[in-house]
Chains A and B, each alone.
Chain A
Amino acid sequence: MSTKTDKIDRLAELTAQSETSTGSSLWVEAMRRLRASKMAVIGGCIIGMFVILAVLGPWVAPYDPTAQLWRGEVRTNQGIFIGMRGENWFGLDHLARDQFSRILVGARQTLLVGIVSTLLGLAIGALIGTVSGAAATLGGKVGGRIDSVIMRFIDMMLALPSLLLAVSIAAMLGQSITTVMIAVGVVQIPIFARLLRGSMLAQGGSDYVLATRALGVRRRRIVLAHIVPNSLSPVIVQTTLSLATAIIEAAALSYLGLGNPDAAVPEWGVMLAQSQKYFDQAPMLAVYPALGIIITALGFTLLGEAMREALDPKLRS
């Protein structure tokens, strides 16, 4: 008897190191990989800082960003600007306002435009993509037609240069921050729609969808509970990357003068636009908002790339 238990104990001892898995879903595993990625951590930190700035900006800003507190010190017509100094870390802008405070407060506008426009593009794009993808995968002949029509329309949107589309939308709706958000958002719609549809099409042809159909599960449930969740990974990644481009595009539109007409409210793109007149005398005025835009865009891009790696099924070990 003793040999038997000894034997089993010994085997237990030797096989003990094999790790036990306890029901972690793919999302949980992706999060674990994300946390382990340096790129994600750096990107996350940048975005975190950016978000804190956007929320707390007005309170931590040392001065009122709209007040021309040092009027008289800056003489644009004589080319006299104030650069970095003790009381104004980033110097003064062309209207003698504290540049540092303006950058801090401007973060909020920029983030708002980025998030709202991306969410707009995502929501409408995902809706169109889902309808189109569902129609194409499980809609039969009629579905195929519906899908074709939707996709040709989306192709048309894609064929227009995005900035041109944004400029024309902005021109139609007039000059305002809402215009910028809508313009940037609309440009994102075809990207999300195509991406989700393509992803759904790939999932729709997979064995597990066939298996679910064989179970006799209703089509609506197959689409919503299986195809869509499995198609989301690339969309999530794209959302992060889109935030970066949205911020840049919003800045570009503001730069072109299509943004907020109230010049008093600081916004990085507007600041960049206004600084160009004085670029040869005070280049730093352009550098600060430009850096802000670049760094936040970089943050979102880094996070997006890290998420792509974390979610990519091919990298799953």
Chain B
Amino acid sequence: MSLLELSDVQVHFPIKKGVFFDRTVGHVYAVDGVSLSVEAGQTYGLVGESGCGKTTLGRAILRLVDITNGEVVFDGTDLAKLPPEEMRRQRSRLQMVFQDPLGSLDPRQNIESTLAEGMEAHGIGADKAERRERILRILDKVGLPENSLSRYPHEFSGGQRQRIGIARALALEPDVIICDEPVSALDVSIQAQVVNLLEELQEELGLTYVVIAHDLAVVRHISDVIGVMYLGSLVEEAPSDALYAEPKHPYTRALMSAVPIPDPSVEDDRERILLQGDLPSPSSPPTGCRFHTRCPWKQDTLCDTERPVLTDLGDGHKVACHYAAEIAAGTVVRAGEAADEDDAKEGREPASVVAP
């Protein structure tokens, strides 16, 4: 039994209009049926581009947004159905680290108060002195000096602020930490410090991570299992190395080929799969496979009529593509390859996409 199991989670945000009484005129299908499971002590990486719903999914796990449908089973309890007060108590076991280290800290709260707040809410630590002692231990763990206690967020550098954010999550001794873009707001040289810190903490405290990021390289570095999201649903899920070695979904392939690698000899010989056009609007997703409007491997049947489900192709490598096996075998080829068009032109082929 996995520590965290999501089944068919949906988060739909109503689009409202109206002068006096709001009337729902449509929905944004931010997360549209995601099932996944996270094993204790593991790191599950969620990647995808902006608008794919990865952040919303992360927040849905903590119920920071309302879950429209589906189950979030954590340690045997379905969080989606818990009454608010019980959910509040569960929060000590599931914590979150945010993208914007400064924005996620109250500018008028010093570090001691920031870190003590969660403990107070959950009755951890008998009195102020005991809590302070715990806070000092945590500060040491995340590599912040003792004199941080009385200081305020604006007095720290970006990397330090993220350490504070991590310390705040750790203060409650959670089982699971959801890291939403934990390093993307930081400078490159600082990113590595924070990534290493997260890994050290996991090893030391046996934490389970769900890491949400757009940077595939970071996710691959830190995760055991990676789920790739596109327009509200998972298109591929596989162990980190397997996903890199053999991406099976066309979107994953395109994504992977687009990530720049800081090595000219690799860069020069790489084959880029350029996608056409932009992400369709999540308020009116395409029929059938959500990716078919941009897919270089799109076929005339099935793709635009039937939504593929995530199927296990063996070894825990799951793909949601009707033609994954054929593409892997080479029997279905890219539109560009078949017609032998030059690559340059492909990039500016009209986007048959975008919501009407």
Interface residues, chain A, with chain B CB atoms under 8 Å away: 21-27, 206-208, 210-218, 221, 226, 229-230, 313, 316
Alpha-carbon distance between A213 and B59 when the two chains are bound, in angstroms: 11
Tell me if A25 and B91 are in contact (CB < 8 A).
no
Tell me if B108 and A215 are in contact (CB < 8 A).
no
6 sample A-B contacts, Cβ–Cβ < 8 Å, listed by A number: A23-B110, A26-B107, A26-B152, A207-B104, A208-B106, A230-B107
**Most chain B C-beta atoms within 10 Å of own C-beta, residue among A21, A25, A208, A218:** A208
A207 neighbours in B (Cβ, 8 Å): 98-100, 103-104
Tell me if B96 and A214 are in contact (CB < 8 A).
yes
Name the CB-closest residue of B to A21.
B155
Chain A, interface SS category: helix
Alpha-carbon distance between A313 and B106 when the two chains are bound, in angstroms: 13
> Nearest-CB distance from A220 to chain B (Å)?
11
Of B100, B108, B118, which one neighbours A217 at CB under 8 angstroms? Answer: B118
Report B73-113 residues with CB < 8 Å from chain A CB.
88-92, 95-96, 98-100, 103-110
B117 near A: Cβ within 8 Å?
yes
> Nearest-CB distance from A101 to chain B (Å)?
47
Tell me if A216 and B91 are in contact (CB < 8 A).
yes
Report B24-62 residues with CB < 8 Å from chain A CB.
59, 62
Tell me if B98 and A218 are in contact (CB < 8 A).
no
> Nearest-CB distance from B195 to chain A (Å)?
20
* Mask: chain B, 100-143; 1 = CB below 8 Å from A; 0 = not: 10011111111000000110011000000000000000000000
Name the CB-closest residue of A to B119.
A215
B17 near A: Cβ within 8 Å?
no
B165 neighbours in A (Cβ, 8 Å): 211
Tell me if B117 and A217 are in contact (CB < 8 A).
yes
Q: Do A211 and B105 form a contact, CB below 8 Å, given A21-B155, A23-B150, A218-B88?
A: yes
Q: Do A217 and B107 form a contact, CB below 8 Å, given A210-B64, A316-B154?
A: no
B147 neighbours in A (Cβ, 8 Å): 22-23
Tell me if A21 and B151 are in contact (CB < 8 A).
yes
B198 near A: Cβ within 8 Å?
no
Name the CB-closest residue of B to A214.
B96
Interface residues, chain B, with chain A CB atoms under 8 Å away: 59, 62, 64, 88-92, 95-96, 98-100, 103-110, 117-118, 121-122, 147, 149-152, 154-155, 165, 168, 172
B118 neighbours in A (Cβ, 8 Å): 215-217
Tell me if B103 and A208 are in contact (CB < 8 A).
yes
Name the CB-closest residue of A to B122.
A216
Kindly list the 6 A-B residue pairs having the minimum CB-CB distance in the complex, ordered from nearest.
A216-B91, A23-B150, A215-B118, A207-B104, A207-B103, A23-B151
> Nearest-CB distance from A12 to chain B (Å)?
17
Tell me if B152 and A25 are in contact (CB < 8 A).
yes
Alpha-carbon distance between A212 and B100 when the two chains are bound, in angstroms: 14
Given contacts A22-B151, A207-B104, A215-B172, 13 further A-B contacts (CB under 8 A): A23-B150, A24-B152, A25-B152, A207-B100, A207-B103, A210-B98, A210-B104, A211-B98, A211-B168, A214-B64, A214-B91, A216-B118, A229-B108
Of A27, A214, A218, A230, which one neighbours B106 at CB under 8 angstroms? Answer: A230
Tell me if A27 and B108 are in contact (CB < 8 A).
yes
B154 neighbours in A (Cβ, 8 Å): 26, 316
B150 neighbours in A (Cβ, 8 Å): 22-23
Tell me if B121 and A217 are in contact (CB < 8 A).
yes
Name the CB-closest residue of A to B115.
A215
Alpha-carbon distance between A215 and B92 when the two chains are bound, in angstroms: 7
Tell me if B105 and A218 are in contact (CB < 8 A).
no
Alpha-carbon distance between A226 and B105 when the two chains are bound, in angstroms: 10
Tell me if B108 and A216 are in contact (CB < 8 A).
no
A208 neighbours in B (Cβ, 8 Å): 103-107
Tell me if B88 and A216 are in contact (CB < 8 A).
yes
A218 neighbours in B (Cβ, 8 Å): 88, 121
Of A27, A206, A213, A221, which one neighbours B64 at CB under 8 angstroms? Answer: A213
> Nearest-CB distance from A224 to chain B (Å)?
13
A206 neighbours in B (Cβ, 8 Å): 103
Tell me if A215 and B152 are in contact (CB < 8 A).
no
A214 neighbours in B (Cβ, 8 Å): 62, 64, 91, 95-96
Alpha-carbon distance between A210 and B100 when the two chains are bound, in angstroms: 12
**Most chain A C-beta atoms within 10 Å of own C-beta, residue among B62, B64, B100, B108:** B108
B107 neighbours in A (Cβ, 8 Å): 26, 208, 230, 313
> Nearest-CB distance from B105 to chain A (Å)?
6
